[in-house]
């Protein structure tokens, strides 16, 4: 009597499941998931979580010819397992009204933070990559617009007394960076 294909397949799968751990014991140990939440996210959680009042100051520029100030509220909470941070922000003032969200996480393979920003004034998401540069958490992204390449850099510093200072810069087509907005935030 010949074994059926299904019986042969089941036998191979069973043999592989028994033999692989013995043939490659280090592989089984190396693939164990890391302890959660990751230390990189624990660091961000201590700095960001909570509710913040903030002020955006826009310098005079082609985007904001008169400059101006907006005020808003920023709420930050841990995501599932503490390995992401969910942010919601809303501001309004002389420059307009803005509503958005951002999710931050640590990418172990890239050894970098990733931020996914969503806003009411643009489709899709901005995907940013971040690293600590001294005492500043710096996120960068690159956008391709029709006929233009735009680079954005956000530098955030965490100050004493539950305060944050953040500057967003832009550069078009390799030109020098210009300040887009300065943000001061105070934890409630």
Same structural domain, 46 and 109: yes
22 and 100 together in one domain: no
Shared domain check, 174 and 111: yes
Q: Give the residue among 46, 52, 98, 108 at the shortest CA–CA distance from 75.
A: 52
- Rounded CA-CA distance 113/139 in Å is 8
Position 115 scores a pLDDT of 98
Q: What is the pLDDT along the chain (188 residues), one digit of tens a residue?
A: 444 443 333 343 333 443 434 444 444 455 666 677 999 999 999 999 999 999 999 999 988 999 999 999 999 999 999 999 999 999 999 999 999 999 999 999 999 999 999 999 889 999 999 999 999 999 999 998 888 999 999 999 999 999 999 999 999 999 999 999 999 999 99
Say how many C-beta atoms besides its own lie within 10 A of residue 184's C-beta: 15
Are 146 and 183 in the same domain? yes
- Give dist(CA 137, CA 159) in Å, integer: 12
The pLDDT of residue 33: 65
- Helix (H) / strand (E) element for 25: namely helix 25-30
Segments forming the whole domain that contains residue 108: 39-187
Distance CA 129, CA 110 (A): 9
- The reported pLDDT for the residue numbered 171 is 96
pTM of the full structure: 0.80
User: What pLDDT sits at residue 19?
Assistant: 41
């Amino acid at each position: 009597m010949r074994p059926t294909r299904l019986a042969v397949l089941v036998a191979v799968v069973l043999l592989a499941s028994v033999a692989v751990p013995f043939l490659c014991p280090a592989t089984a140990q190396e693939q164990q998931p890391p302890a959660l939440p990751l230390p990189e996210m624990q660091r961000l959680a201590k700095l960001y979580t909570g509710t913040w009042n903030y002020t955006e100051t826009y310098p005079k520029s082609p985007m904001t010819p008169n400059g101006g100030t907006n005020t808003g509220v920023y709420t930050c909470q841990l995501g599932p397992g503490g390995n992401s941070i969910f942010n919601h922000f809303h501001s309004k003032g002389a420059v307009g009204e803005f509503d958005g969200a951002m999710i931050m996480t640590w990418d172990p393979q890239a050894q970098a933070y990733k931020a996914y920003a969503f806003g009411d004034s643009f489709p899709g998401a901005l995907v940013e990559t971040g690293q600590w540069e001294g005492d500043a958490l710096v996120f960068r992204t690159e956008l391709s617009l029709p006929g233009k390449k735009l680079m954005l850099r956000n530098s955030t510093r965490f100050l004493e007394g539950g305060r944050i200072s953040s500057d967003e810069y832009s550069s078009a087509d390799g030109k020098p960076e210009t300040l887009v907005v300065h943000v001061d935030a105070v934890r409630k």
